[in-house]
Amino acid sequence: MAELAGNCLIGQSGGPTAVVNASVAGIVTEALNHGVIEEVYGALNGVLGLLNEDLVDLASESQQTIRGLRHTPGAALGSCRTKLKKPQDIERALEVLKAHNIRYYFHIGDADSQETAQKIAEAAKAQGYELRVIGVPKGIDNDLPVTDHCPGYGSAAKFIATTVRELSVDAEALAQNDIVTIIEVMGRNTGWLAAASSLAKRRDHPNDPPHLVYVPENAFDAAKFADDVRRILKREKHCVVVAGEGLVDKDGNYVAVESSDNAAAAQFGGVGDHLREIVETQVGAKVRVARLGVAQRAAAHLASKADADEAFLAGQAAVKAAINGETEKMVTLLRGDGDHYTCETGLTAFADIVGNVKKLPREWLNEDGVSMNFQFYRYATPLIQGEVSVPFDNGVPAFIRLHRESVDKQLPGYEA
């Protein structure tokens, strides 16, 4: 394979995670190891930066800053939810890539973003412009196919499990009267995050909170829910409920959606209050609701070390793959077969990713439909191991900011 010399560009896309910047750090670190990559650029706000030619020089950032990315939440380069829909957008993106001799494009994102990366790769090929495009997975929802799990999920899972354990200990202290604690978690149409709350249970204590976990893969039934709560209150005097934001009823309709111009952009939220109403009217117990919201993907102070390390590894693997001539592929995480958890990286074609969603396997739930069995624990437990050492400054975590040294524009402006 011929060596391809040129510059590389990194873009971030979609909702940030606690460790998505660790992938940026992995890419930058690895890119600087290879002589064929000359400049290391970042696109501000993903494809928007590509369209607007808003590029920054990442190689000029200090080592300290790049290291700091490993514990900084958000998207250090800025993110966006923009898709390249119009043919002229793709055309423009290519012009910008060419103008800066970008030969390596690394796109960190979820399924939608991988589709964008694929479009750019295809257009380059059609024009005979040699460009290698590699995707890096990210997302707390953990719903990307092929990859064993998604960087970002482990940290969100750790935050949720910790918070559920803490809220449960608090609730227990006041459990003389029936009290129901409802925790609404993210996850859109899959139950990976809701299921992760089960990691709050101590080993061999199946009756520990959370007592009832509702996932979107399982049709929600209000009457069964009320029965479930009554059963737990009888046994424990308090009941901790975890509900995924995207719960659906037996007809497939969302139980609670705040706004939904279209399914993809649906803004979830409100399941907790919906369940509260059921408990108050049908069970008659006191309820308190917590909606963890974006904290689930931003809580870098409690990131999983395993997750942060794998996010970094995925970034490195993307560079290695591209250097080796790979393109139009996304990095995947592969779990070893042994009893001891190991994780390596692999590659999968963009085509395998786009349009596919990985649901929580139904057989990982117990028959009661509200708790997880050993298969889920075996899967998820390794992903939340270890803590990231976050520096604190004056009592709060110190996050870094990129200096964002602009790369000189070569092209006229563009109306995206």
Q: Which residues are known catalytic residues?
A: 141
DSSP state of 394: T
User: H helices within 43-152, ranges in order?
Assistant: 47-52, 63-68, 87-99, 111-127
Q: How far is the CB of 157 from a second copy (least distance, A)?
A: 8
Site for a second copy in 63-92 (CB under 8 A): 72-76, 78-82
Query: How many residues bind a second copy, per CB under 8 A?
Result: 63
- Taking each helix axis as running N to C, give the angle between helix 20-31 and helix 305-323, from 0 to 180 degrees, rounded to the nearest 10: 40
Separation of alpha carbons 162 and 200, rounded Å: 6
The residue within the footprint of a second copy, chosen from 88, 260, 385, 410 (CB under 8 A), is 385
Q: List binders of a second copy among 13-72 (CB under 8 A).
A: 15-16, 45, 48, 72
Among 396, 408, 412, 413, binds a second copy (CB under 8 A): 396
Question: DSSP letters along 247-303, please?
Answer: -B-TTS-BS-EEE-SSTTT-EE--HHHHHHHHIIIII--EEEEEE-TTHHHH-GGG-
- Given 25, 300, 313, 317, the residue binding a second copy (CB under 8 A): 300
Side-chain half-sphere of 49: how many Cα atoms within 13 Å? 25
Min CB(263)–a second copy separation in Å: 17
CB 11, CB 42: distance < 8 Å: yes
Among 38, 172, 236, 326, binds a second copy (CB under 8 A): 172
| Burial call 166-193: b when 16+ CB within 10 Å, e when fewer | ebbeebeeebeebbbbbbbbbbbbbbbb
Q: Is 298 in the site for a second copy (CB under 8 A)?
A: yes
Q: Which of 63, 128, 394, 415 binds a second copy (CB under 8 A)?
A: 394
Q: Which residue, 304 or 327, is less far from a second copy as judged by CB?
A: 304
Show contacts with a second copy in window 198-217 (CB under 8 A). 199-200, 203
* Strand, helix or coil for residue 328: coil
- Which helix (H) or strand (E) segment is 397 a member of? strand 396-397
Interface mask toward a second copy for 146-165; x: CB under 8 A: ------------x--xxx-x
Binding span for a second copy by CB under 8 A among 3-11, 59-67, 117-125, 389-397: 389-397
Task: Evaluate whether 32 touches 315 at the Cβ level (below 8 Å).
Answer: no
Q: Which is nearer to a second copy, 73 or 135 (CB)?
A: 73
Would you say 347 or 372 has its CB closer to a second copy?
372
Q: CB-side exposure of 391: number of CA atoms within 13 Å? A: 11
Interaction between residue 174 and a second copy (CB under 8 A): yes
Judged by CB under 8 A, does residue 170 bind a second copy?
A: yes
Residue 306 Cβ, how far from a second copy at the closest point, in Å? 8
Question: Judged by CB under 8 A, does residue 346 bind a second copy?
Answer: no
Say if CB 240 and CB 167 are below 8 A apart.
Answer: yes
Q: Is 111 one of the binding residues for a second copy (CB under 8 A)? A: no
Interface with a second copy by CB under 8 A: which residues?
12, 15-16, 45, 48, 72-76, 78-82, 158, 161-163, 165-167, 169-176, 181, 199-200, 203, 267, 269, 286, 288-295, 297-302, 304, 381, 384-387, 392, 394-397, 399
